Amino acid sequence: MLVINQTDFDITTQGNFMQTHTCKWIKRSVHHLCLSLLLGTLFSCQSSVIATTTTWHVDADNGSDQANGLTQANAFASIQHGINQAQPGDTVLIYPGVYFEHLQITHAGQVDNPIRIMTDQVAKDRVIVTGAVEAIRNKTQTWELVDQAKLLYRTPLNYKPVRVLADHVDLLPYQSLSDLNAFWFLASDYPGHDHGYAWVAAENMLYVRLRADMKYNTSTDPNQLTMAVAPPTGGGTFGSEPNGSDNFNISLPFIGSANIIIDGITFETPGIAGVYTQASDLTIRNCWFYGCRSAVAGARDDYVPGNRAHRVILEQSYYTQFPTYSDIQDVIAEHAQTQQAKSDSYQKIMHWQRKGNYPNNDGVGRTYAYENGLVMNMGQGWILQNNHIYESFEGISASANHHSQDTIIINNHFERICDNAVETENHAQNITIANNLLIDAYEPFSWQPLGGSPLPGSIYIYDNVIYQTPEDQALWTTAGNWPGVLKIGTKNQYWEAIYGVGNEQTIPINNGLWMVHNTIIKPRGRVLTYLNKSEWPLDHVYFLNNVIATWRQAASSELGNIFFDYNMVWPTLPVNESVDPALENVAGPNGQWIPQIHIPSNWQNPLEGMTNIPDGITSQTHPQISLPLPLQIQFRQQIGSILPMTAGPQPRHLP
């Protein structure tokens, strides 16, 4: 059952998986409680020293950093002052307000006594930590109307901001005022969006235009809205290298275990990411991220030698680049016919306005691109769970998984994703992608290594639901696109860089890429976007125990050694007025192929009313495949997915 709560909080599905894991959690909790009571009794007998903890209160509107911070009536004014006082076991308790701070945490908690930095309640915009220009956001610096016909406004600013939000609506960065006035990337003759901003260096002026139809805002006048103007972008080719104190809303610039919990904050318009950590053992939960190129960024050891952040948990949070997907709907509806008539191939990909270097390196620019997604630079043992990623160009990109190890991506809700929900490139090792709900993700999963060896491997994608709504079907029908569920492979030049020119060979994925027990309903799509040429066949890719309703298998007939079996498959749309004959191969010899065209009306129970449902492969069936079944996946006779999850920030009580 899907439960959509009409609040700022969650989207919930319920199923057997949650009950099982809840029971296990209760058993562990009772065990830990008994152990804790025993240890506490022993400790109290041996020592008269009693550890004390302090709650430090912070109130932007009513506090003072000259107060003692011990009660709400004597609260500090700044979060930073509270953080500076906090010792292991302490809580920094933040009351409603807008905090114009770039916070630094330079000391750690302890495993059993973490430092908590948390809001008094979990609610969107209750506590905002923002990197926005204070005078503009507070409306003491106004916007001048320059052109009434174009609804063009400007305000003084001596740098180009990486993001501009109008009441949380993310405006498209244009490279020039001419582009902004045209809502078009003029050098490439490529369509833009009907709102955006541009910075003119010669004038030190920031220009904005809001949508004339007020589709997203209550006014076309920025003076009537909350305008959050971000700092400059970061350094390096992609604008993701730390180069200033305004890169992040919160940073942990120290090496070691943090043992810190950040809970309930709305993060807004940093230069790079809401939270940045060089430290390991950090938890971020119940947070919102607006105007953040990424929610959380770890350190890269080429930025901080010898260091990566490990064991970071991001959970129950909300990340958006709204209205990234809605904008491409408008572009495709308005310009598809004229774009398809143009000769250049890039013109036919109409949804990459925010990609970065597209088209022809004159789009928004690499250093302002929206491709980063939820997190960047994961180390080992990151857990991304129960998050809601909505209207984003990427969900979790190669910027996150470039060198990740032992990552768990579980129980998340991805919706209206313009490119990939999860990319495993370039070198991800041992990544679990399970029990996620993916609605209208263009190509949900990607294995496209572009950075040499080691290739991404040990990839476990199971118990996910991939669902394409009628609205999304109509969008890509108009655009003429047929996106795949899994984009896999790369161009010859990347294989030649690893193996040498003329050394064509079969490429096995280490420990396999496993697509198992997924429910896939993608009527305007295909199973694979297969990028390898026939002379570089892939091996150790398995599709098992899935329920699949889609258009075709792949555009290519050369699919290497990809293994399909025990799947239930049926077509959703005819190919040249007939069913794609290759799609039957996806069922496999022990699966079930249904040639009749059918689009399930209910993704929660796509097999309703169907008969002859095949049993799935299990460890007891002794499958004849090239690798043993991985122990990480619970293989069941019941095919398809089990999807229990609660995504997004959740109400909670103070500890």
Give the residue from 572, 588, 608 where a domain finishes. Answer: 608
pLDDT of residue 337: 95
Does residue 191 sit within a domain? yes
Range of the domain at 504: 324-608
Shared-domain flag, residues 423 and 551: yes
Looking at the structure, do residues 588 and 444 belong to the same domain, yes or no? yes
pLDDT at 610: 86
Last residue of a domain, one of 229, 259, 278: 229
Neighbours of 18 (CB within 10 A): 19
Q: Which of 185, 201, 229 is the last residue of a domain?
A: 229
Residue 427 near residue 456 (C-beta atoms within 8 A): yes
* Residue 498 counted as domain residue: yes
pLDDT per residue over 192-248, tens digit each?
A: 999 999 999 999 999 999 999 999 999 999 999 999 999 999 999 999 999 999 999
Q: What is the pLDDT of residue 410?
A: 98
- Has residue 617 been placed in a domain? no
Mean pLDDT of 568-575: 93
Provide the 8-state DSSP code for 622: -
154 pLDDT more than 80: yes
Q: Residue 149 corresponds to which tokens in the numbers above?
A: 């016909």
Residue 527 is encoded by which pair of tokens?
A: 């199973």
CA angle, 502 then 504 then 507, to 5°? 150
DSSP E strands in 562-649: the ranges are: 563-565, 568-571, 592-593, 645-647
Residues 222 and 340 grouped into a single domain: no
Tens digits of residue pLDDT in 4-50: 333 344 444 433 333 333 333 333 343 443 434 333 443 343 333 44
- Token reading at 473: 């079907």
- Read off φ and ψ for residue 53, nearest 5 degrees: -125, 155
**Same domain, yes or no: 486 and 337:** yes
Domain assignment present for residue 298? The answer is no
Q: What is the pLDDT of residues 404-441, one digit of tens each?
A: 999 999 999 999 999 999 999 999 999 999 999 999 99
pLDDT at position 51, please? 59
Give yes or no: residues 221 and 360 share one domain. no
Confidence band, pLDDT 50/70/90 cuts, at residue 546: very high
Q: Does an H or E element contain 200, and which?
A: strand 196-200
In a domain, 61, yes or no: no
Question: For residue 251, what pLDDT is reported?
Answer: 98
- Whether 567 and 593 have beta carbons less than 8 Å apart is answered as no
Residue 575 binned pLDDT confidence (cut-offs 50, 70, 90): confident
Q: What 3-state DSSP class applies to 399?
A: helix
Does position 473 have pLDDT exceeding 80, yes or no? yes
Q: Tens digits of per-residue pLDDT, 268-315?
A: 999 999 999 999 999 999 999 999 999 999 998 776 667 899 999 999
Based on DSSP, count helices (H) and strands (E) in the chain, helices before strands.
9, 45
Instruction: State the average pLDDT over residues 559-575.
Output: 94
225 and 344 share a domain? no
Largest Cα span, the chain: 83
* Residue 163: count of CB within 10 angstroms of its CB: 26
Question: Is the domain of 337 the same as that of 201?
Answer: no
Q: Lowest-confidence range among 260-274, 325-339, 388-402, 571-585?
A: 571-585
HSE value, Cβ hemisphere, 13 Å, CA-based, for 652: 15
State which H helix or E strand residue 631 sits in: none
pLDDT at 560: 87
Indicate the DSSP class of residue 262. E
* DSSP assignments along 313-355, one per residue: EEES-EEE-TTHHHHHHHHHHHHHHHHHTSSSGGGG--S-TTS
Question: Is the pTM higher than 0.75?
Answer: yes
Residue at 568 is within a domain: yes
Q: Which of 111-120, 296-305, 630-639 has the lowest mean pLDDT?
A: 296-305
Cα–Cα dist 184/167, whole Å: 23
Q: How many domains does the chain have?
A: 2
Residue 296 lies in a domain: no
Residue 26 lies in a domain: no
Asked if pLDDT for residue 585 goes beyond 60, the answer is yes
Same domain? For 337 and 198 the reply is: no
